[in-house]
Each structure stands twice: as C-alpha cells, then as structure tokens.
Amino acid sequence: MQTIPSSVRIQIPFLAIEGADHMPGIPAFEWPKKDLHAAIIDYVEKRRTFVSVGNDGALTLSIKSWLMMRSRTEYRYTVRLESDLGPTGKPPITSYVAEAEEKGSIVRWVTASDRNPIERAVQATLDDLLAQIEADAELFR
C-alpha cells in the first residue's frame, strides 16, 4: 500500500436504495447517508491511504453510492460505489467503480437483520475502491 501524500475530503452527493421491503410487519429497508459517510471516513482514516481526511482536503473523493437488496432464496445486498478523485475545486483526475454482494438471512423480520450483510458488503467494496486508488498513487504525487 502506498500512502498518497495529500489530505482528502470525502463527499457523498448521491445515495440510492433499491429493493425496499414493504411487507406487512417488516420495517422499511433503511440506510442513512450519514452512516455511510461516517463509515467511509472511518475506513479511509484507518487504512491510511491519504495523509489525512477532513473538510478542507487538497483532494476530493466524490462517491455516488447504491445499496440494492434482492430476495431470492435468501436476501442479497449489493453495494456499488462510483467514485471520482481529483484536486479540490478542479475536475477529477480519475474515476473508479467498486461493487460487492453479500448474502443475508432467508427471512427478514427486522431491519437489524440487514446490518451484518450490509457492513460486509461495504467493507468489501471499500477494500476494492481503496486498492484501486492506491494502485494509482503516482497520479497524486
């Protein structure tokens, strides 16, 4: 892993949730944007891909996000991140796409049952996204 010698600002301009479950007695499928934003910031800080993460970063990582839930024999959760990275206030230098799918339970009684598969899918997607960014570290030196 190569650390990019710049600070980064993380933006999530778009979050779509598809496949909301509206069966009687089951709460609607939810994923607050602020939870995703906090999870991404925490992950990027711990991974140390950039020198720092903050509101005034030299680079901006803009992440459009989708969370899709489908039911086959079990629930499946897919997280897709389409990201642009470049100097703050200027057009992006490069773009990335990362996607991961995780299996959930066969039945879904409460939204708490969504948490673990969503967290696993987010982790796998962020692993892929940051690996792609780190492979391009020379672009940002």
> So what's the pLDDT on residue 30?
66
Q: Over the chain (141 residues), what is each successive 10-residue block's mean pLDDT? A: 89 84 54 86 95 94 91 84 97 97 74 78 96 93 80
Question: What is the rounded CA–CA span in Å between residue 141 and residue 136?
Answer: 10
> So what's the pLDDT on residue 22?
46
Which domains, ranges and CATH numbers included, belong to the chain? 4-140 (3.40.50.10610)
Q: How far apart are the first and last CA of the chain?
A: 14
